[in-house]
Structure 1
């Protein structure tokens, strides 16, 4: 688009896609992006400030996202979308341009809870839960992290022991997304035979979930403490397809993959909001877009957004080709979230004092990304995963 002098339209084609990354996407991928972007523009942007300020998760959007095919969209069968990894990534990017909390819902529902059932569940599990979850009629959560076991899930203390009729679960989980509104929870617990996953309907006696309040991040989202007190489950509740941490790690890698795309969506939204602002804000008799230091900040944002998007796209192509290694997912999660936070913080400085209000998105995105930076593996964890991949020497223990 040619340059213009009309405020926020004063951008060039290089301002929106400097390296013409769109040319690397298929028509189907671009059509999906248009569809999700329209949903974000119509349903999320007009409301996100009030949701964030009031700490409200917009549960009425769940069935809408189901009808758009966004829930479990990368899974096949059982009314799931069967979309490619790249398509799922594009959807994650657009949703997080709206807010990290909305993209996190899609991730918890599809990449964690639904993936666990799809990958490791019985046929009964799949038929009972997946179609309803894909439609947004049922909500799932994924219970791995504990109050004393975050980056070290092997240190979990939740246990499942055999009882008269099946299994009995006792323990606690923390920072579990959606748990208070979920219909089903995938709970990981130690057993005498190793770590196993259990499909736990949340109305089972002894299961309780309490939202964590007073958050400074992810306010338009739900994270909970779960308590499990003598939760009685039938033998059929166990996920039969996996034993050990390979199970939850496989699901976490699905979520980490979506995060690398989503973080670039948040960064892009912060950049675009301040790019418009720099043409509208007049100081010393001219728009601040004409200042050298402002242009330097904008250029640095463009560099990292374009590089991060290419990282996500290449990772997605590898995933679709069946060639992606978990260590390569760590590259994208570590780089893209770290850079997205810096972009959002830099964008806030361009806004000056106005940037601390909800009128502008960068600080909201930056606050949300502090949570994204922590969950599904901290910077330190992904650094050590990459270090092991590079040197061949594990440093975790």
Structure 2
């Protein structure tokens, strides 16, 4: 896989799944983890805790000497691939925080739990389609809750927090608030400021290490750029607490668009996607139909509220609704006669039918509740 990726996708960063590395470590070095040994804890520190290469190298040497495993074949082989799993090497890659294959493993588990080896191809695809529909429904439900609920802001008066509460999805907004909360633990111990470029050295309370932050200001257009040695923004596309401390000192109240990744935004699905032929892709028609349904409901409810106390206006609206219903029926009959079954017509049909039979929100799906099976956790997974 490494050779194929290097040849076909040379700009892609290939990393190893940390979960599988830990499982292989238990398999090859289980004898070192008995009788209250802290080998697994020290190995995890080498994998996650060190942001500088020199700290990682020193800790790795101490690990080998402490447990007398300098000649262990598996440890030497995994050390040769350290660029693919150690944090100090992976921080330069755009990983969005992913360090394992949990996404594909989750999908594989769902498929295995509902299929059997004796299914024919038609039965398999029926089961597969049901899984896809369940995942899309869950996504639609999360999307609905995200748009309806207001995130909890730990700092109500901060313009930066208020700005991102309207942009970020709830999980990413909570992560950003955690970084904002850590700003109070940072200290600026060195400053080297000029008119254009400013360099700072940051430390944190109760944490070892120093972080170098560079801030550049372009006076001709008012733009600025900031980078930190922790490389959190390059890896997650979210600003770290060290950078936020400098922005706070510079009296910067709002973030520009280049520091807000659209992937983490609520409106990430607003733009249309196209396939290789240039045709628009509709990932799930129910997402679009639900959006149109909510928009129509809000407008029609507002209109009904405005005319409810005027009988003449109410009669006019009622006649208009009947006329619109006739036009919609005519459009649907015309499309059916021409064999048109596009997503727009389906969405319109959904809106018309839902306006008379459904309320706003989600309806529980009929049928027996599917039993959820999850991979049993071993004692390694349960360790903090």
The structure, 1 or 2, with the larger RCO (C-alpha pairs under 8 Å, 6+ apart) is 1
Shorter-chain TM range is: under 0.3
The structure richer in strand per residue is: 1
Calculate the TM-score normalised by the size of structure 2. 0.24
